[in-house]
Amino acid sequence: MKVLVIGNGAREHALCRALSLDPDVTELHCAPGNAGIAAVARLHPVDQLDGSAVAGLAERLGAELVVVGPEAPLVAGVADAVRERGVPVFGPGAEAARLEGSKAFAKEVMAAANVPTARSYVCTTAEEVDRALDAFGPPYVVKDDGLAAGKGVVVTEDVAAARAHARGCDRVVIEEFLDGPEVSLFAVTDGTTVVPLQPAQDFKRAGDGDTGPNTGGMGAYSPLPWADPKLVDEVMESVLQPTVDELRRRGTPFSGLLYAGLAVTSRGIRVIEFNARFGDPETQVVLARLRTPLAGLLHAAATGRLAEIEPLRWADGAAVTVVIASEGYPVSPRTGDPIEGLAEAEAADGSSYVLHAGTRLAEDGETVLSAGGRVLSVTALGETLAAARERAYRGVGAIRLRGSHHRGDIAERAAAEAG
C-alpha cells in the first residue's frame, strides 16, 4: 500500500514511524514533513491547507491511503478534496471536523446525542458574557469558539482576566469548571463502527507541577494505571458511539480519529473537548504500544470496513514521551539552533527513540536545527511506567539544544502510585 501522510509534527513522525513498520506499506510519503520524518518517508513540499494541491500530490504518487494529521487542513476541507478524487483518506470532512473547529457546534452535537459535558453558554455580547460568568462563578472557563492552536482556552479565578479573554474573541463558550484528572481517549471510526484505542494522559502546562502557561502538550504516558478498568467501555457507550451516530444521522458522518478530551469528575465522566485528529503528544505513546499494523487499521476506517478488523493488539507495559521545547516556548520560541546528541538519545533495541516536531536540516544536509516551539520528543517503552520514564529521561539527557526546556515530572505521580 502506498501511503501519504499530511503534516509536519511529532504526531506525524509517530504516524510515519508506525506506518513504516507495517509490512503492507510499500511506499511511504509525507508532506511537508520534517528532518526526522525524512528518515522513514519521502518528503514533498506542499501547502497543507490547499486541498487541490494535496489531492494532486496524492494522485501523482498513486497513493492508496492519505492520512491527514493536523486539524487545520481537516477543518479547511482537505480530506474532502482528496476523497472527491476517489482516494481513500483517513480524516473527517470539513462538516464533521467542525466538532473540533467550533466549540459551539460540539456542544450542540453533544446536547443532541445526550453526551455528558460541562454546562455552558454560547456568548456574543459583553452582557451575555457577564451573565454567564456570574451564573457559574470562579474558576471561570472561557473558550474561543474557533480553532486557536491550544491558545483559545482561559481557566482563571480572575473575573477581569476572564472578561478580557472573552472580549478578544467574536464568539465564546463559557462553561462550568470541571474538576478531576483529564484523560485523552482516541477512537478510530469509519462513521459507523467505533474502535477505541488505549487511554493516555497529556501534560498541558509548560512547567513542572502544572505551572506556567498552556502549551500544545509537554509529555504524555499510556496506559493509565489509576483509571477504572471500565473507563473505555463507559466512554464508548456514553460519548464516542453516540457522537458518531449523531453525525451520521445528520448526513455528515465522521470518519477518521475522534479524540475525546475527558475530565473524570466526582459526578462521572464529562467531555472537555473533541478533536478531529490524533492528539499530540498522546499519539506518540499510544502508537508506541499498538501492535496491530497501522496502515490496515486506518485504511479499513477510510473505506468503511472497520467492522471487519480483528480486535486490536497491544504491547504489554507502558510508554512515556517527554517533549523538548525551544527557549521561550510557548510565548516566543527561539529557532535555528543546532541539536546534538540525537543518536545517543535512541536505544539500539528500539525501546527509546526520538520523534521530531519543529526541526529542519541545515544547508550542510547533516546538522539538525530547531525550527519550532516544540522541537522534538523522546518516546520510550518499558515493562512499567517507571522503567519507561527512566528510559525517556535518559534520552532527554543526551540531547543538547541551547536554552531548551522540558518538564521533569511527566508520568511521575502515576509511576509512583503504580508502585
Q: How far is the CB of 181 from ligand GLY (least distance, A)?
A: 15
- Residue 155 interaction partner, one of ligand AMP, ligand GLY, none, beta carbon < 5-8 Å per kind: ligand AMP
Q: Which is nearer to ligand GLY, 282 or 346 (CB)?
A: 282
Strands 65-68 and 2-7: parallel
Question: Residue 275 binds what, of ligand GLY, ligand AMP, none (CB under 5 to 8 Å, by partner type)?
Answer: ligand GLY
Give the side-chain half-sphere CA count within 13 A for 311: 3
Nearest distance from C-beta of residue 275 to ligand GLY, angstroms: 5
Local structure of residue 110 (DSSP, 8 states): H
Q: 12 vs 280, which CB is nearer to ligand GLY?
A: 280
Q: Is 127 buried (19+), middle (13-18) or exposed (0-12) by CB count in 10 A?
A: exposed
CB 177 within 8 A of CB 155: yes
Under rule CB under 6 A, residue 272 binds ligand AMP: yes
- Give the shortest CB-60-to-ligand GLY separation in angstroms: 30
Residue 335 · residue 368 · CB < 8 Å: no
Please compute, for residue 15, the number of CA atoms within 13 A of its CA located in the half-sphere on the CB side. 34
User: Binding-site residue total for ligand GLY (CB under 6 A)?
Assistant: 6
- Give the residue with the Cβ less far from ligand GLY, 61 or 147: 147
Residues touching ligand AMP, count (CB under 6 A)? 13
Least spacing, CB of residue 126 vs ligand AMP, in Å: 21
**Which residue of 95, 108, 182, 340 would you call a contact of ligand AMP, by CB under 6 A?**
182
Q: Name the DSSP letter for residue 184.
A: E
Of 121 and 259, CB closest to ligand GLY: 259
218 and 203 in contact (C-beta within 8 Å)? yes
Residue 358 in grid coordinates: 519543529
The binder of 12, among ligand AMP, ligand GLY, none, by C-beta within 5 to 8 A per type, is: none
Shortest distance (Å) from residue 280 CB to ligand GLY: 5
Q: Which partner in ligand GLY, ligand AMP, none is near 346 (CB below 5 to 8 A by kind)?
A: none
Q: Which is nearer to ligand AMP, 5 or 178 (CB)?
A: 178
Binding positions for ligand GLY, 250-289, rule CB under 6 A: 275, 279-280, 282
Peptide bond into 281 cis (omega under 30): yes
Give the integer Cα–Cα distance in Å for 80 and 127.
39
Give the per-residue contact string, 147-166, with ligand AMP (x = CB under 6 A; - = no): ------x-x-----------
Task: Say which residues have a Cβ less than 8 Å from residue 296's Cβ, sequence separation at least 6.
Answer: 22, 24, 309
Q: State which of residues 141, 269, 295, 378 lies at the interface with ligand AMP (CB under 6 A).
A: 141
Candidates 175, 190, 280, 412; binder of ligand AMP (CB under 6 A) is 175
**Which of 355, 228, 233 is closest to 286 using CA atoms?**
355
CB distance 200 to 235 below 8 Å: no
How far is CA 111 from its chain centroid? 24
Selected binder of ligand GLY within 144, 176, 202, 246 (CB under 6 A):
202
Half-sphere exposure at residue 289, Cβ-oriented, CA atoms within 13 angstroms = 26
Find out whether 91 and 256 touch, Cβ atoms under 8 Å.
Answer: yes
Does position 241 interact with ligand GLY (CB under 6 A)? The reply is no
Region from 1-9, 31-39, 50-58, 177-185 binding ligand AMP, contact rule CB under 6 A: 177-185
CB of residue 278 to ligand GLY, shortest distance in Å: 8
- Please select the residue that binds ligand AMP; options are 42, 85, 163, 204, rule is CB under 6 A: 204
For residues 321 and 288, give the distance between their C-alpha atoms in angstroms, rounded to a whole number.
10
Burial label for 135, CB within 10 Å (0-12, 13-18, 19+), is exposed
Max Cα distance, the chain (Å): 60
For ligand AMP, give the closer residue by CB, 141 or 342: 141
To ligand AMP, the closest distance from the beta carbon of 30 in angstroms equals 26
CA nearest to 144, candidates 112, 117, 105, 174: 174
User: Could you tell which of ligand AMP, ligand GLY, none binds residue 175, using a CB distance below 5 to 8 A set by kind?
Assistant: ligand AMP
Q: With contact defined as beta carbons under 8 Å apart, do 41 and 30 qualify?
A: yes
Which chain residues interact with ligand AMP by CB under 6 A?
A: 118, 141, 143, 153, 155, 175, 177-178, 182, 204, 261, 272-273
Residues near ligand GLY (CB under 6 A) are 202, 217, 275, 279-280, 282
